[in-house]
Structure 1
């Protein structure tokens, strides 16, 4: 089993290097987990987004419906995993008393069992990897160990994507503010510090973020309002 898993993870790691974006990377991880973890039929990533949960890269429509059901009734294993429990196993959702309202919905969807792993890096919870099976499937130690390997990969992928977005946003913000400062310095013959102070003052007076004020100023310079084509032209 250890040799097979090492070979599978080696193949997955090589494939992930070629994936161009976050969605495809996560989809590859989930598909590999579904194909590898014993007893699993389908799966997906559950992500906490502004106090609500979303299903990412589901391999089956029932993953979406299950996530929506947990969101609607306010309970379920994916919610618990996202909120702090590292690994949750439900071998028979139909008789599970931890989430009675969700259990009823799961039965309607044909979801029999589930194992979900919290996705986290450095004490920061990013979501959960949720893997679904038939009724009566018992997720033992092997399923836990293999699933945790894929969960680690998914957590790192989510963290990397978030850091990449934040870096891009920071670079764009820096560039916009730098351009706006340069415009004010040339137009009014003022220092860089004075130009920055004017941007801050405009942000405070208008109650608009500094980066948005800077972006607007640059946009107005590149395409003055009077030079824009009128509607219908």
Structure 2
């Protein structure tokens, strides 16, 4: 890898690192990651991300074209392929020529049929419930080398960080919204029944326990009664 290319890589990595710290949708960040893969890794004709849940459900996102989604669908149909293997087990999975690939015979034949000859996939460390992989594809054989593996591994790390940051923000927003609803419900009870803050919360808690209903759902019901 040449010095100018190293400098370009460092600049792009710095920009990606900043995107992780800025509250943005995970879809936007993942689209940036696949776009950077196209720009930074020579020979990449398409890039995308595959998520696989424990129940077998899958989601194909951030594709730079329809090709990654088509290939993901093939892998989930055949239950085999490099992206699936990277998501579920191996950190890096590389195929130099799908015409000679024996690990996933059904998928490889289908990939060749639509013109894909090389692949490079990286495991995304997302959560205990969802596996993921960053996937690169090329229409020529031997498109990817060790440098591609190095750059792709860094991009995959940024993608994983973006996913975790987004999920943390979503959980935080949900917690704040729940707190606000409970606060509104307490205020309604305090005004309606002349109770103080502690007694109002205790009423909510008892209603939750007696009906085996989440406290935030009880709060929502109380708020709904305000217009009654």
Question: With structure 1 as the length reference, what TM-score do the two structures score?
Answer: 0.82
SS at match of 1:45: strand
Stretches of structure 1 that go unaligned for 5 or more consecutive residues are: 226-233
SS at match of 1:179: helix
**Over aligned residues, Cα RMSD in angstroms?**
2.7
SS at match of 2:132: strand
| Partner of residue 64 from structure 1, selected from 66, 69, 76 | 69
Are 2:2 and 1:7 equivalent residues in the alignment? no
Q: CA distance change for structure 1 residues 194 and 36 in 2, over 3 Å: closer, same or farther?
A: same
Contact map agreement 2:27 2:62 (CA 8 A) in 1: yes
What is the correspondence of 1:17-36 to structure 2 with a 5 Å cutoff? 17=18, 20-36=24-40
Number of residue equivalences: 223
Q: What CA distance in whole angstroms lies between the structure 2 residues aligned with 1:209 and 1:67? A: 38
What corresponds to 1:230 in structure 2?
Answer: none
What corresponds to 1:78 in structure 2?
Answer: 83
Moved more, 178-187 or 194-203: 194-203
Question: CA offset at residue 77 of structure 1?
Answer: 1.7
What corresponds to 2:178 in structure 1?
Answer: 173
Stretches of structure 2 that go unaligned for 5 or more consecutive residues are: none
Relative contact order, CA 8 A, sep 6+: which one is greater?
2
Q: CA distance change for structure 1 residues 115 and 172 in 2, over 3 Å: closer, same or farther?
A: same
Contact map agreement 2:17 2:158 (CA 8 A) in 1: no
Moved more, 183-192 or 115-124: 115-124
Q: What CA distance in whole angstroms lies between the structure 2 residues aligned with 1:191 and 1:90? A: 67
Q: What CA distance in whole angstroms lies between the structure 2 residues aligned with 1:200 and 1:100? A: 58
Contact map agreement 1:16 1:28 (CA 8 A) in 2: no
Q: What CA distance in whole angstroms lies between the structure 2 residues aligned with 1:84 and 1:184? A: 52
| Partner of residue 97 from structure 2, selected from 92, 100, 122 | 92
Question: With structure 2 as the length reference, what TM-score do the two structures score?
Answer: 0.83
Q: CA distance change for structure 1 residues 34 and 180 in 2, over 3 Å: closer, same or farther?
A: same
What is the correspondence of 1:142-181 to structure 2 with a 5 Å cutoff? 142-181=147-186
| Partner of residue 215 from structure 1, selected from 203, 215, 220 | 220
Contact map agreement 1:38 1:142 (CA 8 A) in 2: no
Q: What CA distance in whole angstroms lies between the structure 2 residues aligned with 1:91 and 1:204? A: 60
SS at match of 2:48: strand
1:148-183 deviations in Å (ceiling 9; x for gaps): 111111111111111111111111111111221222
What corresponds to 1:45 in structure 2?
Answer: 49
Q: What CA distance in whole angstroms lies between the structure 2 residues aligned with 1:15 and 1:113? A: 26
Question: CA offset at residue 108 of structure 1?
Answer: 3.2
Moved more, 115-124 or 144-153: 115-124
1:52-85 deviations in Å (ceiling 9; x for gaps): 2211110011111111122222222222222132
SS at match of 2:14: helix
